Structure 1
C-alpha cells in the first residue's frame, strides 16, 4: 500500500523506502546542537530496575510521548499499543500525537533537545535519518532487540522480525530505527484475466517476452508503469540484475565500488527492459502518467502487467473492479546462470519508528515499541490494513485477500533469499540519477551501455565527495 498517496500526488511511501535522502527534511542544524560536554549526552532517564517483567527498566509513572505519522494506515494501530502500555503502567500519562508532517513538527524539537520518546519518522518531509544518525540524535535499539518478545515465548524481539528488517534500520553498526511494515516488490496482474485467457505467469525473461507478444496480439498492452516516477521500473530491473549477479552485485553497488554499475548483470537487466520499449510492449503514453493514472488504467485491463510494491492492492481499493483479484508475481529470471533463485524477492521494511537519544523516557519508548511489535499487535494491523507487518508469522491463520495472500506466499517461497539495495536510502542523489536514467532507457532515449555509464558517473562523483557520509555493507 502507498498510504501517503492521499496526501499528495506523489508516491511518498514508495519514496520513503527507496529514496529517503530526496524527500526527507535535511536538518543540518542538528549537527550544531551536538557539542562537547553535557549537550551530547542523552536526557536524564532515571528508569527503574530491569527485571524479567520489566526488561527495559521502565519507570512506572514516567510520562510517555508518542508521535505517529497519520497517513493511509491511520494511527489506530499505534493507539492500541499505547492502550497496552497504559494497562501495564496505569500511572504513566501517555501523550499521543498523530501528524501528517512529522519532519516539520519534529525538527525544532530535535534541535531544541526536547524530542518525544517515540517518533514514527514517516511520510513526506520526514526527518533525514542519516542526518539524525550523524548528529547522534537517535538511540541504539540493541537492548530492545535483545529483550524478550511480548507474546512469543522463548524469543527475543530480534528473532520475531522478517529478514532484512534489522538491517534496514542499521547505520554504522547500530540499529537506530525499527520499521513496522514489510514491503515486497514484484509484477502485478489479474489472476482471473490470466486464467480466462489461458496465460501462464512467466518464470524467465524469454517467457515474459513471448507472453508479451501473445498479449499484444490479444489487443492489450503487455505493460504499463507509473511513468512520472520511473523508480517503479527500477525495482524489477534491479531485482533481475541482483538475481543474475547475486548479493555481491548488490553490495558492490551499495558500497560505491568502481564500475559497479557496469557489472554484467546490471547491463543485461537494462538490456532486457529496453526490449519492452523496443518491441512495443509498453502501453502508449505511460511515460506521462502518474501512479494513480497508470494503476487505474491497469485496473481497467488496458495493460496486463504493472510493477509495484505490495501496497498496491490496498491503494486500489475502490478502483479495481469486483473480481479483479490482483496478485503479485516475482520478477522473472534473466537466464539459467542466475546466482539467486527465481523465487528471490526484493523486500524492505518501512513505517520507521525511532527513540530519540534525548528522549526523557527512552526506556518507556522502547517498551512501547516492544508492545507495538508484538505478534498480536502486528496481526491486528494486518487485518485492518491488508498490509504485511514486519513481524514474522503475523498473518498465520488469517483469511487473506488475493493480493496480500500472494505477497505472503512470495515471502514464504523466498525464505532467506530476500534482497534490498541500500544506496537508495543512503544516497538520495544517486537514487535520483538511477531513476532518471531508467526513465530515459525505457523510453528509448539512451542505450543500456549509456544507462550504466551515466549512473556510474553519478556514483563515482558521490564516492569522491568528502562531505557525504559513506556507509558499507
Structure 2
C-alpha cells in the first residue's frame, strides 16, 4: 500500500506505509534550491537528449549508467533486481547500480540536497520523504511521457491504457503525474484460517459479530486483536475504512478534500467508537501498542492474536515467521449498522510510490525502467518475488502460483467488484495522517476517548488544508 498506503503510506508503508515527521526546513530549502523549474539546464539527460525511435520511444542513452534506490521492506528487493535484469538485457552497456535500504530519507535526502539523486527511487517506508513535500520543492519529474509511451507487450497501446483504474489519479500531485504507485494492494483484516477451523470460528461480516467473536476468542486464551502500535498508520486505515463504508463515497470525497466537517458526521463517530470498543473490552494483545509492525505481526503468526490489520504486503513480509500451515487469509473490515457500502467493499488500489527525481542524471533511463516494470515480464517477476500484485491489468498469467494470503486478496477483489475505494488525502495532506496517528496512539492506549480523538483529528484536518 507500505510503504504505505508508500507502502505504509496508505500504508506506506505504504508504507508500509509509515509515520515520520515532515522534513526539516533545511531540507525544504535545499530541495527548493536544487529542484527549481528549469529542467533543461540542470538535467543532463535533457541537455544531451538521445534521439527517439519506435524501439527507443523515451530516448534512452544505451550506455548511460542507471542508479536505482529501493526501499527494502515487506516486498524485499529481489523483485527490483529482476527489473534491473530486464533493463540490462535491453541495455547491456549500461551499468546498473542497485542500492536497497529501510532508511530512504537517510540516503535520498543528502543526494537531493547535493543535486545528485538516483535515477529511480522507491520512496517508501517509515523514513519516506513525503511526496507532497517533494512535489512542492520541485524535486519530481513529470512522468507523463511514460504514460504516453507504447507498452512493451503491445506497442499499439500506450502504457496508460494498460494500468488498473485509479493508478494515474493516485500518482497525480499538484496536477502532475509524478509518482508511479506500482503495487496494487488491498487493506483489511487478516486471520489464520487454520486457527479458525480448529476452534470452529467463522470470520465475522458485521462489527457486532466481530465483537461477539472477540469474546469467544478471549475465552480460548487468545487476544482478539493486535496492531502495529509504533506505527499507528495501520490503525488509521482501519478507522477510516470503517467510516468510508458507513458514510459512502461522498464522505470519502470530502475527506480527500480536507473537509474538516467529516469528523462531525455519524460515519466518523461510529467508526472511532467501534475501534475504541476493542480497547474498552480489553481485546488488545498485551504490549501491542508499543510493538513494531514486525513484532506484532510475528506475535500474530504465533497465534497470540486472532486478527491484525494490514495491507497485502503482509504475507511476503512475514514469510520467515509464518508457519507453513498457517493459511493466512484476508477479509474486509466488518460492517457497521447502516453502512452505505456493502461488507465486500474494500480499500484497494495503487501504492508503493516510485519516482524519478528531476535532477537525476538519467531521467530517460528512469522512465524506461518503469516501462519495464509495467510489462508482463515485470509484473510476473514482482508477483513471484514479492507475492503481490502490480497495477498492470491482466499482468499475471494463470500459470503463476500465488500463496494463500495473496490468493485470498484476489478473491476479495473479485467479490468487491466496483466497491473498491482508495483515499488520496494521504498523498495530498500527509501531515493529517501523522497527526491522526498521534491521536490514534493515545486512543489505543486508552489515554483519550473517541470524542477527543475526533476533536484532535478535526483540528489536524484544518491545519493540513491550511498548509497545503
Say yes or no: TM over 0.5.
yes
Identify the residue that residue 279 of structure 1 maps to in structure 2. Answer: 281
Report if the CA contact (8 A) 1:223-1:305 is conserved.
yes
* Kept after mapping to 2: 8 A contact 1:30/1:131: no
Distance 1:405 1:421 in 2: 24
Name which of structure 1's ranges 354-363 and 13-22 shifts more when overlaid on structure 2: 13-22
Residues 2 and 230 of structure 1: CA distance in aligned 2, closer, same or farther (over 3 Å): closer
Q: How far 1:452 moved relative to its partner?
A: 1.0
Q: Which moved more, 1:122-131 or 1:360-369?
A: 122-131
**Equivalent residue, structure 2, for 1:32:** 33
Is the alpha carbon distance of 1:462 and 1:12 closer, same or farther for their aligned partners in structure 2, counting shifts above 3 Å? Answer: closer
Matching residue of 2:308: 306
- Counterpart for residue 452 of structure 1: 454
State the partner residue of 2:367: 366
Paired position in structure 2 for 1:66: 67
Structure 2 unaligned spans of 5+: 5-9
| 1:222–1:305 contact (8 Å) kept in structure 2 | yes
Aligned residue runs from structure 1 range 285-364, under 5 A: 285-335=287-337, 337-364=338-365
Gaps of 5+ in 1: 5-10
2:378 corresponding residue in structure 1: 377
Q: 1:113-147 CA distances to partner (integer Å, 9 max, x unpaired)?
A: 44343233334544332232123222211121122
1:289-321 Cα distance to aligned partner (Å, 9 max, x none): 333332233222222111122222222223222
TM-score normalised by the chain length of structure 2? 0.87
Contact 2:88 2:96 (8 Å CA) reproduced: no
Give 1:71 deviation, angstroms. Answer: 1.4
Cα distance, 1:30 vs structure 2? 1.6
Question: What TM-score do the two structures reach when normalised by structure 1?
Answer: 0.86
Distance between the aligned counterparts of 2:416 and 2:375, measured in 1? 23
Q: Distance in 1 between matches of 2:330 and 2:447?
A: 29
Return 137-146 or 51-60, whichever deviates more: 51-60
Please report how far the alpha carbon of residue 379 of structure 1 lies from its aligned counterpart in structure 2 after TM superposition: 0.9
Residues 228 and 139 of structure 1: CA distance in aligned 2, closer, same or farther (over 3 Å): closer
Q: Are the counterparts in 2 of residues 228 and 288 from structure 1 also a CA contact under 8 Å?
A: yes
Please report the RMSD computed on the Cα atoms of aligned residues, expressed in angstroms: 3.0
5 Å-filtered alignment, 1:436-451, equals 436-451=438-453
**Hey, what's the Cα distance between the residues in 2 that align with 1:289 and 1:21?**
16
**8 A contact 1:21–1:429 mirrored in 2:** no
Using the TM superposition, give the Cα deviation of residue 279 of structure 1 relative to its aligned residue in structure 2, in angstroms: 2.8
| Deviates most, 325-334 or 348-357 | 348-357
Give me the whole-angstrom Cα distance separating, in 1, the residues matched to 2:224 and 2:321: 20
Give the match for residue 128 of structure 1: 130
CA distance in 2, matches of 1:53, 1:380: 23
Give the C-alpha shift of residue 266 in structure 1. Answer: 0.9
- Between the two proteins, the alignment pairs up a number of residues equal to 457
Q: Is the 8 A contact 2:36 2:137 kept in 1?
A: no
- Give the one of 424, 427, 441 matched to 2:426: 424
Is contact 2:79-2:386 (8 Å) kept?
Answer: no
Partner residue of 1:198 out of 175, 200, 209: 200
Contact kept, 8 Å, 1:243 with 1:339, in 2: the verdict is: yes
2: CA distance, partners of 1:24 / 1:123: 14
Q: Distance in 2 between matches of 1:124 and 1:458?
A: 20
Q: Is the 8 A contact 2:71 2:100 kept in 1?
A: yes
**Could you tell me which residue of structure 1 aligns to residue 13 of structure 2?**
14
